Structure 1
């Protein structure tokens, strides 16, 4: 993929495909409807996280229907860009894409499900991840440029 070019197909990956990668996929689909093919996967299959669903609903993005997938569930690795959000997902993505012409980027992203505290403290951690992912996705995928086309 040429430097600065918007990818046509993006995979977001994390550990369990239950918090970070579904949030990122939901954000990307919302920002680039019909312009970018977006999927998400995990190293292992988790279950949909209710806090992730809640904070995404706050910004008008519905991920309730998300069903966690693993890398092995994907039909192929024909993505232009794989964004990994956890170290183990990064290692797995590099292993699986070694024979493909695909860019793999690591965006270190804290797992908000590891947050302890009150409900509000936990939600604040999830909101922080959501907002950081939104910013990174807009920057990397050229959201501002997409608004003028």
Structure 2
């Protein structure tokens, strides 16, 4: 019989589940996979952005198997944490049970930033910057979540 999985469940939520939440999912799995069972979803899902896959591969993180999904597809998962990674997802975040801690950390939208780029290299620089910002956030995630729990326990 398999041992139960005691990892905390975390969902990264954004509008399209095509870039930022996908990167956050991949980074969390890469850095904290032993601690978190990680998911991502969108409120209006689109295909995973090939540029996001490319810039994550540049740093050795494989996102090729990840797929975009609607948050409703995960309705049966009992999350410990939900992190919205864009303002639109925060504003339209679906209802989660009271025990779920919902946090927000907005990141710029690489496809939006790259839309007026004069070259593919220039466009990819936007993706790389956001990739690196998300990594820094994910590296500190356990401390941030611990702080959220401590806030709840204070009088």
Q: What does residue 149 of structure 2 align with?
A: none
Q: CA deviation at 1:68?
A: 0.5
Partners of 2:57 and 2:142 in 1: CA distance: 22
Q: What does residue 55 of structure 1 align with?
A: 55
The partner residue of 1:102 within 100, 103, 106 is: 100
CA RMSD, Structure 1 to Structure 2 (Å):
1.7
Partners of 2:38 and 2:81 in 1: CA distance: 10
Partners of 2:10 and 2:95 in 1: CA distance: 15
Q: What does residue 4 of structure 1 align with?
A: none
Q: What does residue 23 of structure 1 align with?
A: 23
Unaligned 5+ segments in structure 2 are 1-6, 144-155
Partners of 2:106 and 2:33 in 1: CA distance: 25
- Relative to structure 2, which stretch is displaced further, 13-22 or 115-124? 115-124
Deviation beyond 2 Å, 4+ runs, structure 1: none
Q: What does residue 127 of structure 2 align with?
A: 126
Kept after mapping to 2: 8 A contact 1:43/1:88: no
Secondary structure of the 2:45 match is coil
Kept after mapping to 2: 8 A contact 1:17/1:41: yes
Partners of 1:89 and 1:136 in 2: CA distance: 18
Unaligned 5+ segments in structure 1 are 1-6, 143-149
Q: What does residue 71 of structure 1 align with?
A: 71
Q: CA deviation at 1:91?
A: 2.6
Partners of 1:111 and 1:134 in 2: CA distance: 15
Secondary structure of the 1:38 match is strand
TM-score by length of 2: 0.81
Secondary structure of the 1:96 match is coil
TM-score by length of 1: 0.84
